Amino acid sequence: MPRIAVLTSGGDSPGMNAAVTSVARNAAYYGMSLIGIKRGYNGLLSMSEKDVYEMNLDTVLDLADLPGTYLRTARCPQFMDPAYREQAAANLRKMNVEGLVVIGGDGSFHGAQQLCNLGIPCIGIPGTIDNDLPYTELTLGYDTAVNWDVEAVRCIRATSRSHDRPAVVEVMGRNCGDVALSTAEATGSEIVLVPEMKWDIHDVADRLGKLIASGNTRATIVVAEGAYASMAPFDVYEFLKPYGKTVYPGQKMDAHLLASSLKYLCHGAEVRATVIGYTQRGCQPTARDCAFAFEAGNMAVILLKNGISNQVIGMRNNRTYHTSIDTALSETRNFKESLYNLINSL
Ligand code: ADP
């Protein structure tokens, strides 16, 4: 019986379990056995009984609708070293594994690309809430994160409205502002800040001040967690210290300091901050993410069955498709600047 393996790697994202379930169901359907590898590439190196085990329809029965990843995930710094990658490839050969499905982000895909170069057929499924892989319109977890954040903004806004308090809402997105952009768009938020675009806190305060003056006392500022890196220099310590805020010299900007700074730049407006954080990753996957996971798992197994490897699954024109890992990793992102400008100007 041909044997394949599956692992999840990098940050967890809602929909990873649904993808593993789909791989397991398709493997069973096409008469393949499936090995589950725990803790990402670490499991390939340790090969301990705890990290490597046979998966079947029983083990995945109730998995698909669970958030997080049952296979666990972890970063594996050793995988940057060719000697460890060769060890991993040798371990897979020893287990007679003929193909590996890697569910993760671009770092994990680089690992898969290297394994392909060592003769291990690999297929990647994009699992990251950031949506930072340009070759695909959708990554597993992105739709879930946006829907979760939209609900959060609506809830926060109910209190913002009740108390006439503007809100800073920080969402995930270290290098990619897509989650922030979609959340702001879908909630009609007045300001969005992303890592891709440079911004100045004085411009934000100016816009917020004008919104408040025009009667919008509950404006929402959606900020991606990576957006502080694209902010024009602003010394939070020097600015907030005179107001009696506990801030340390050199302290980095964050959601709460942004809210405090805007408060004083906007003459005492009671700006409040909420960081949505891990709840975005640990929440129940949406129908869209689960459906994509279902199709991606099917395509991954069929590709391996047909001897096609070095591919990643993606979504293009709303259809599940595959392309080579090399092509996928060479594509550059096209940030939706006009949408960004629209949100920040209407
Ligand atoms: P993500 O897959 O979400 O982008 P990381 O960037 O942390 O997450 O990558 C996950 C893992 O993939 C890393 O811990 C490492 O084991 C492996 N990896 C990342 N980049 C490379 C690379 N250039 N070569 C080989 N393996 C890599």
The residue whose CA has the least distance to atom 25 of ligand 1 is 111
Asked if residue 225 lies in contact with residue 171, where contact means CB atoms within 8 angstroms, the answer is yes
Do residue 192 and residue 207 come from a single domain?
yes
CA 74 to ligand 1: nearest atom: 14
The pLDDT value recorded for residue 67 is 86
**Pocket of ligand 1 contains residue 80 by CB under 6 Å:** yes
pLDDT tens digit string along 8-36?
Answer: 999 999 999 999 999 999 999 999 999 99
What is the distance in A from the centroid of ligand 1 to the CA of 79?
8
346 is a domain residue: no
Average pLDDT of the residues of the chain: 96
Do residue 266 and residue 290 come from a single domain?
no
The pLDDT value recorded for residue 31 is 97
Do residue 64 and residue 190 come from a single domain?
no
250 is a domain residue: yes
Do residue 300 and residue 245 come from a single domain?
no
Do residue 7 and residue 136 come from a single domain?
yes
C-alpha 266/C-alpha 243 separation (Å) is 14
Whether residue 66 has pLDDT greater than 90: no
Domain range for 294: 3-141+285-330
**Pocket of ligand 1 contains residue 340 by CB under 6 Å:** no
179 is a domain residue: yes
**Pocket of ligand 1 contains residue 185 by CB under 6 Å:** no
The pLDDT value recorded for residue 148 is 98
Contacts of 308 (CB under 8 A, 6+ apart): none
The pLDDT value recorded for residue 96 is 96
The pLDDT value recorded for residue 64 is 87
Active-site residues: which are they? 130
The pLDDT value recorded for residue 27 is 97
Would you place residue 202 in the very low, low, confident or very high pLDDT band (cuts 50, 70, 90)?
A: very high
Segment (H or E) for 272: strand 272-275
Do residue 180 and residue 273 come from a single domain?
yes
C-alpha 114/C-alpha 108 separation (Å) is 10
Would you place residue 49 in the very low, low, confident or very high pLDDT band (cuts 50, 70, 90)?
A: confident
**Pocket of ligand 1 contains residue 124 by CB under 6 Å:** no
Asked if residue 138 lies in contact with residue 315, where contact means CB atoms within 8 angstroms, the answer is yes
Q: What is the mean pLDDT of residues 189-203?
A: 98
Q: What is the mean pLDDT of residues 52-75?
A: 91
Cα 195 to Cα 135, 136, 192, 331: the distances in Å are 20, 20, 10, 19
Sheet holding 167-171, edge to edge: 191-193, 220-224, 167-171, 272-275
Do residue 277 and residue 212 come from a single domain?
yes
What is the distance in A from the centroid of ligand 1 to the CA of 141?
18
Do residue 34 and residue 131 come from a single domain?
yes
Q: What is the mean pLDDT of residues 310-314?
A: 98
Single residue among 281, 306, 338 that ends a domain in this structure = 281
The residue whose CA has the least distance to atom 20 of ligand 1 is 107
**Pocket of ligand 1 contains residue 3 by CB under 6 Å:** no
pLDDT tens digit string along 230-280?
Answer: 999 999 999 999 999 999 999 999 999 999 999 999 999 999 999 999 999
Query: Domain total for the chain?
Result: 2
Do residue 20 and residue 67 come from a single domain?
yes
Segment (H or E) for 120: none
Percent of the chain with pLDDT over 70: 100
Whether residue 141 has pLDDT greater than 90: yes
Q: What is the mean pLDDT of residues 58-81?
A: 92
**Pocket of ligand 1 contains residue 127 by CB under 6 Å:** no
The pLDDT value recorded for residue 180 is 98
Pocket test residue of 37, 79, 81, 132 for ligand 1, highest count of atoms within 8 A of CB: 79
Q: For the whole model, what pTM was predicted?
A: 0.95
